[in-house]
Amino acid sequence: MELNIGNSVFPGLNDKNGLMICGYEWGFSEADRRLVESGEEMFYDKDAVTTFPNKSPAHGERAFTWKYDNRIIKWFSLWGHPLSRDGLGGDFEKSIIQTNWCNSEGHKINENYFQKLTEFDQIENFIFHIKQFEPHLIFFMGSEMINVLQHPLVSEGFSGVMGMPESKPSIMQKPSLHRRFKIGFQEYEKCNVISMPHPSSSRGLSDDYISLFSDEISSLILDLKRRKGING
C-alpha cells in the first residue's frame, strides 16, 4: 500500500510521533474543477518538498487558495501556535503530516459518512497510516471520525498501534453567540485525538467559536512540542 499524504516526510519530526491532520477524503475544490474542465493543465511537481502550510512548491500559487488548508492554518493561530508559510518554516511545521481516512477524492462524500469510513479498504487505508506514522496527536477534520474510531473493526487496529483508550470520547460544546459545534477529545496510551468540525463545509462555523477551545487544544500542542524539543 502506498502512502496517501499531502506533504513531505521529515525524519525525526513527522515520520513518527508527530501531529497528524486527518480529513475524510481528498478534496477537489471548485476552482480546481473549473481548471480541469477548461482543459488547462495544473502545475504539479511530485518531487517538490512541502510542508502542510506551504504546498506551493508542488502545486503553485493555487495551494494558497484552498479553503480547507487556509481555515486550519487560521485555527492554529487562534490557538496560539501559528504556522509559517515562509519556505518550509521550522520544526513545528515539519512535525505535521497530512492525510485522509479515505484514499478517495471528491468534492464531497455523497453517501453516509459512517458507511463510507467503515468500508474495508478505507479502514485499511487509515490504519496503514497510523502504523506508518504513529502520531502523538491527531486532529480529525470532521466530527464523524471520532465516532467511527469507536467501531470494533477500527478500534482494534487503532489500539494495536496507539494502545488502549484511557478515556471515552469527551464531546464538548461551549456557550456562544454563534452556532455551537461539537468538538471531541479522547486519550489513548500513546496519543491524543481531537475531533473538529469540518473546516470548509460546516455552515455557520465561526472562528470565534473555535477560539473558545484554545486552552484545551493548546495544551495538547504544547505537549507535542515539548516531546519534539520545539520552542514556541
Domains in the chain: ranges and CATH = 19-228 (3.40.470)
Contacts (Cβ under 8 Å, ≥6 apart) of 219 = none
Q: What pLDDT does 111 receive?
A: 65
- Is beta strand 183-187 parallel, antiparallel or unpaired with respect to 192-196? antiparallel
CA dist 195 and 218 (Å) reads: 14
pLDDT < 70 regions, the chain = 27-41, 106-111
Output the DSSP codes for 69-130: HHHHHHHHHHTT-----STT--HHHHTEEEEESSS-B-SS--S-HHHHHTSHHHHHHHHHHH
pLDDT at 27: 67
Report how far Cα 139 is from the mean position of its chain's Cα atoms.
Answer: 5
Element (H, E) at 138: strand 137-141
| pLDDT for res 200 | 87
- Cβ distance 83 to 64 under 8 Å? no
Q: Is 211 exposed, middle or buried (0-12, 13-18, 19+ CB in 10 A)?
A: middle
**Tens-place pLDDT, residues 157-183:** 999 999 999 999 999 999 999 999 999
For the entire predicted model, the pTM comes to 0.93
Which residues are registered as beta bridge partners of 141? 196
The pLDDT of residue 14 is 98
Q: What is the largest CA-CA distance in the chain?
A: 51
pLDDT (tens digit, 9 = 90+) per residue, 93-114? Answer: 999 999 999 998 765 665 688 8
Here the cell at position 231 is 520552542
Instruction: Find out whether 26 and 56 touch, Cβ atoms under 8 Å.
Output: no
Q: What is the rounded distance in angstroms from the CA atom of residue 17 to the CA atom of residue 192?
A: 11
Q: What is the pLDDT of residue 42?
A: 78
